[in-house]
Structure formats: structure tokens, C-alpha cells
Chains A and B, each alone.
Chain A
Amino acid sequence: MNVEIAGLTRHFGRNQAVAGVDLEAGPGVFGLLGPNGAGKTSLLRMMATVLSPSAGKMRLLGRDPGSYGPRREIRRRLGYLPQNLGYYPSFTVVEFVEYFALLKEMPAARVPAAVAAAVERADLGDKARAKLRTLSGGMLRRVGIAQAIVNDPELLLLDEPTAGLDPEQRVAFRALLRDLGERATVVVSTHLVEDVGAACTEVALMNAGKIVFRGTPEQLTARGEGHGVGDAPLERGYSAVLTEARS
């Protein structure tokens, strides 16, 4: 099991961002849905080991991230794309991806090939030597994806990965997600339910810091039959579950 979470809680002052989440996941693409402020990003940041939980237990890739040695091992095997991707404008695409490959402590000999592969998989081959300051928002998002997958992660955490991508890129990205999900655990936090329907094998819906639904996209769709609002069946399931949770 790559992700084992029990009673995970995180407070920011009086605000409880994550309230006792239980979650287990193995290889595959796991969708994390929810409205703004549901706690998705906080949960992902805790799974990325950059935010410590206030309470609860978490094991990632069979290790306890609370201890330094295991945490470092987890980070070597982790890919993370934050919601607000920062970047160094003067770096080229290749340099930026290589920089994070080196920070992830990849063996130097493996880095050039891994960087080239990640850049190609993110469909940035023709922009490999471009400075980041010259790229569009969608391209920068793909750079973020490239740096997240450069170390061939066993646990890949993507926070709003398709934000800024055009429809064609989103279709290609979903294919990439499915491919990655065959070998690794991919957790995708998104607002876009169509991404979940197309790429995820399992989905969780968060509201007010708690997971209020857990199942397959088909099960979520089924919850919307005769209920909810939305154009697509999955959206109706999403709104039906949220309405039920809020009531």
C-alpha cells in the first residue's frame, strides 16, 4: 500500500482544514474532488511531506514521514506538483527539470536521460531550451508536470494539474496520467470532474476537511441519478453528494 492515512487532521489556527481523513491507496490514479476550501490542497501538502499534520497517522510508500530517514526516502520516490507552481524565470525548461531531479537526489548519471524523457512526456521537446519566463501558463504547468515525474515517482501528487491546459493538452495529459497510474500511485486534486471521469480509477470527494464520498467514478455518477445539478452525469453525482453532505 503506497498511501495509508488514518485520522489525519490539520489546523490553521482555529480553522480545521483537514478533519480526520482516512485514506488508503495503491498504484492507480486517485481523484480528489471537492469545492474550494474543502482541504484538498492541505491534504496533498501533508502527503508531500511539506506540511506536518496536527494529528493522525500517515504512512507513505510503507514508511513513516515523521522520521527524517524515512521521510528522505519517501521524498526520493515522490513527485509533487503544487497548486501554485513557482519557477525560476531565468532557467530553461531542461535546467529547471534537471535542478529538481538533482534535488531529488537522482544519481547524476541517470539525470540527463530522465530529464529528456520527462520533457518529452510533458510534450515540451520543442521548448526544451526556452527560458521559463518566455513560456505561457499552460506550458509552465507542463514544466511542473515534467519536474514532478522526472524521478519516475512511486507516489505522484498533482494539485490542479490541468489548470491552464488547453483541451488538446488535457486529453494528452489524461493519457499520461493513466500511463503513470499503471506503475505508481497518482493522486490528482482537481475541480474538473471530467478529468476524474476520464483518468481516475477511484475518486474521493472532500467537503469541509472530510472525505464524504469514496468510490469509483461510476459509483459517483450513480449517486447523481435523479438528483443534483450539472450538465454531465459525473457533475450531477458530485453535486448530489455535496448537497447531501452539507445537509
Chain B
Amino acid sequence: MTLTDAPARPRPRDAGRASPMSLWRLLWLELRRNAMPWMFPLLAALFVFDPFRTAMGYGPFWDLRASVLENKLLPDFVLFVAGVAAWMGSRDSRRHTRDLVDATARPRWTAQLTTWAATTLWVAAGFLICVAVLYGVTASQATWGGPPWWPVAVSLAELALISALGFAAGTFFPSRFTAPLAAVGAFLLCLEGFRNAVGRSSVYALLSPTTSVPDDDTGLFRHYLPDVSIAQLMFLIGLTLVVLAALGLRRAADAGPRLRRAAAVIAVAGLAAAGTAIGLTGTARTQAYGTVIPALHDAANDRPIPYTPVCGQAAGVPVCVHPAYRNFLPAMTAALAPVFRQIASLPGAPARVDQVAVNDLIASNGAAITGVPPVFRLPVPATPDETSFGQNASTFSSYLQSTLVTGFVLGAHGFVAYGPPVGTPAQQAVVLALLQKAGTAIQTGAGPESAHAKAEQVAAAARRFAAQPAATRHAWLAGHLAALRAGRITLAQLP
């Protein structure tokens, strides 16, 4: 018998049928030999030195700390995710295994999706470990609320998209330079490129997660509005589906009709999702408590979050704060007590301090001390700056004292934070004197010569007033406070 006339061997009936189990096994092999875990030490170092350190500089407020996920951690990850995904996407071309893979029964698209899925699962695992560390530490410090999951979901969706884009770049342009170029390109796209492409002030910039910074008091006094997050998820997942489907359609000639149809359906679904998200984002409008997309908005989220304040005493005056600020109450009462001791029983002296949402105070035209009996409505921005909780203790103390004294001396419209001096020279001098007696040093500041000379005059009057015995100052204020607030007192009239 020669080669040509021998019969073909019959195939066993059970051969050649893959089970879902074999796909899992394939994924397991890809997970074991993926390049992404090699990046974890670098990502861990970046996480510690950038997002984690930044978050720990903020007060222990869930939404504020969660903001570093999108603004710090996400860009750090994007760089590596895009590079590694491109590296994995170009693997068969770089390693000359395309013929080997092409000669196998499993469609190449399936093999590619398995490799992409393994890369993305590692990315998600690494990101979630960082989230777990950040949220774990915050859970041990926070006194109110719980972890927000929308930023986590949006970040994971963006990482999946970046992974898909990087993988597609590696597949379409297989070269050893693709990975670094994809990494840099994705980083720039994530940070600036997208916003510049759609216009910095455009409402469509909202589609990029890194543009979102939570408002003051989000998650404390007001609910987190998930409208934008939902649109971002639709947009990012839609684009991810389009990119993955493009990988399948690229090899349409070698794929079966079912796979071709599946790729086409996925591409259409992805385009529909992304297009819908763009359309919805176009209707977004900014309100006092966040950005609202009418079609996605739940009116229940507009209601304030109910809470029971936590109170302490500052020189006998109740000081009540949101329970999220419970840990800062002793520092607040200690800062406010010296001021209350000086203004006790004077007309308009607050009988109570209530912490209010920053946006609420802005909406009420900045009235700091209102009502009968007077209540000092104290806004404390959660957004990290030199005046917020968790920052420098003496700066924070000065901010509280300055806010109270200025509000008391200048009257109903006296709310100021930091900035140029407000009020008449006499009002400024009294404010400075009261602050000096409360422990805040008088600084005249710098500026043009004329302004400097004027500030020196105010400072001199403040020192003179502060040098008076406490009873003298108190008696003078009791007799002249109305005139002082009305702006009818001059520097020379101060004792």
C-alpha cells in the first residue's frame, strides 16, 4: 500500500469538541503568564507616593478620599495598562507564533479576547487592591458614611477601555515600539487629550472621569449624584465593546458566520451605548449640589442626607458639627473658646455654632451669624486647602477664629474666609485685636507703599486696642458695637 491509496483514518466521535472548561483553562494559562503582574511593584510604589499620600492628606471623608481614585490612581494605572496591553496584543507577531495560532481551530478572536481578558483581570485586581487599602484605612478613620462605589466602577470601566485600546494598538501595529507609544499616548489622552479634544469648557468633557472632582460636602450633607457616572460607564463600556468587536471584524474572513454576527452585534451595541451617553451628557446641567443629567436623575438624591449632629462646648457655647467631623470637634471647640470668652454677652454674640454645608451658606448670601438667638453658621470646606480639616492644625484654628470674629464684628454680611481685609479700618483693627487675644498673631502683610502704610495704621490701632484690659475692651464693645458695625467708628476713636 502506498501513501496515496491508503484510506483516511476515522476520527473518534468525541474528538474535537471544546468545552467551556477548556476556555477557562486557557484563561488560567494566560493569567499565569501575563506581563501585568510584573508592573505591580512599580504601581505599588506610585500608589504609595502619589494617590495614597494625597488621600491621607485629606480629612477622613469618603467621597473626598475616593476622588483620588479618578484623579490620581487612574492616570497612574493608565500608563502601565496601555503599555502592557499593547505588549500582550502584539505578542503573536513579536514571538512569531501567528501561524501556529492561526492553524488552530479556536478562532483567533477568541484567543485574543482571552489574552485581553487576562490582562484586564490583572489590572482590575491591582486597582481593587489599591482601593481596598485606601478604603480600609479610611474605614478605620471615618466617623460617618460609607465607601462610594461609583468612582470605582467608572475607573474600572476606563481601565478596561484603555486595556482594549492598548491591546488593539498592539494587534494592529505590532512592533516593539507600540507598547511605549501606547503608554504615553493613553496617559496624555487620559489627562489632557480628551478634554482638549472636546474643549475644556465643553459639557462633553464630563465623559472623561479624570475631570470629575467632588463638590464640597458631597456625600455628607448631600447625596452623591450618580448621573455623570452612569453616562461615563455607558460611554466607556460602549467604546470598549466597539474596540473589542473591531478585533473580531478585522479577522472576519477567517471567522465563522456566528462570530462575525456576534462581533457586528457587539460593535453596534457599543456604538449605541457610547452614542447614547454622548447624547445624555449633552443635556447635563450644573446645579448647586452637582451635575444633573435629567434623564438619569433621581429626584430622591436632591434631598439632604439626614443626620444627627454631634455637639461640644466652647466657653459654654454649644458647637455642633456633622458626625463625619466628630474627630475634629475638640479642635474646633478649643479654637473657638478664646473668641467666645471675649465676646460673651455682647449684642449679636452667637449662642450656638452649627456647621452647615458650604453650598448652603453660599446660597444664603454668606450670612454667617443669623437668627434670634444668634446662631453662627459655620461652613467648613471639605475640599482640601489650607483651611480644611486634616490640614495644618494652627492654620485651621486661625481659620475658625477669623471666620467667627469677622462675622461677629462685621455683622450679618461678614462671612469671609481668607482673602484681603474687609470692612472699615476700625472694623479691621477690632478684628485683629480680638484675634490676637485669641492667639492669632497680627500680620500687616506686604503690598504697595500706600496700602502698607494704611495696614500699619490698622495694626497699630489693633495693638493699642488689644493692650487694653479685657474688661475695658468688653465694655467698649458693649457700648460701640452697633456704631462699629455700621462703619461710623474711626481708628482714632478706638481706645
Taking a contact as CB atoms under 8 Å apart, the answer to whether B104 and A104 are in contact is yes
Cα distance A25–B8 in the bound complex, in angstroms: 9
Name A45's closest neighbour in chain B (CB-CB): B99
Over the window 94-128 of chain B, the binary record of Cβ atoms lying under 8 Å from chain A Cβ atoms (1 yes, 0 no) is 01111111111110000100000000000000000
Taking a contact as CB atoms under 8 Å apart, the answer to whether A26 and B99 are in contact is no
Name A82's closest neighbour in chain B (CB-CB): B99
Question: Does B4 touch A at the CB level, under 8 Å?
Answer: yes
Question: Does B449 touch A at the CB level, under 8 Å?
Answer: no
Name B21's closest neighbour in chain A (CB-CB): A108
Taking a contact as CB atoms under 8 Å apart, the answer to whether B99 and A102 are in contact is no
Interface SS of chain B: loop
Q: In the complex, which residues 248-277 of chain B have their Cβ closer than 8 Å to any Cβ of chain A?
A: 254-257
B33 CB to nearest chain A CB (Å):
5
The 8 Å CB contact of A154, one of B8, B97, B105, is B8
Q: Kindly state the interface size class of chain A when it binds its partner.
A: 35 or more
Give chain B residues whose Cβ lies under 8 Å from the Cβ of A89. Answer: 95
Question: Does B45 touch A at the CB level, under 8 Å?
Answer: no
B401 CB to nearest chain A CB (Å):
62
Cα distance A168–B254 in the bound complex, in angstroms: 40
Give chain A residues whose Cβ lies under 8 Å from the Cβ of B19. Answer: 107-109
Question: Does A15 touch B at the CB level, under 8 Å?
Answer: no
Over the window 89-105 of chain A, the binary record of Cβ atoms lying under 8 Å from chain B Cβ atoms (1 yes, 0 no) is 11100010011101111
A157 CB to nearest chain B CB (Å):
8
The 8 Å CB contact of B106, one of A85, A90, A102, A108, is A102
Q: In the complex, which residues 70-88 of chain A have their Cβ closer than 8 Å to any Cβ of chain B?
A: 72-73, 75-78, 80, 82, 84-88
Cα distance A108–B23 in the bound complex, in angstroms: 9
Give chain B residues whose Cβ lies under 8 Å from the Cβ of A102. Answer: 18, 22-23, 25-26, 29, 106
Taking a contact as CB atoms under 8 Å apart, the answer to whether B103 and A184 are in contact is no
Name A98's closest neighbour in chain B (CB-CB): B29
Taking a contact as CB atoms under 8 Å apart, the answer to whether A48 and B257 are in contact is no
Name B259's closest neighbour in chain A (CB-CB): A68
Give chain A residues whose Cβ lies under 8 Å from the Cβ of B99. Answer: 45, 48, 50, 80, 82, 86
Taking a contact as CB atoms under 8 Å apart, the answer to whether B18 and A107 are in contact is yes
Question: Does B17 touch A at the CB level, under 8 Å?
Answer: yes
Taking a contact as CB atoms under 8 Å apart, the answer to whether B97 and A62 are in contact is no
Task: Return the 4 tightest CB-CB contacts between A and B, nearest first.
Answer: A86-B96, A26-B6, A86-B97, A76-B16
**Interface of B with A (CB < 8 Å)?**
2-9, 11, 14-19, 21-23, 25-26, 29, 32-33, 35, 91-92, 95-106, 111, 254-257
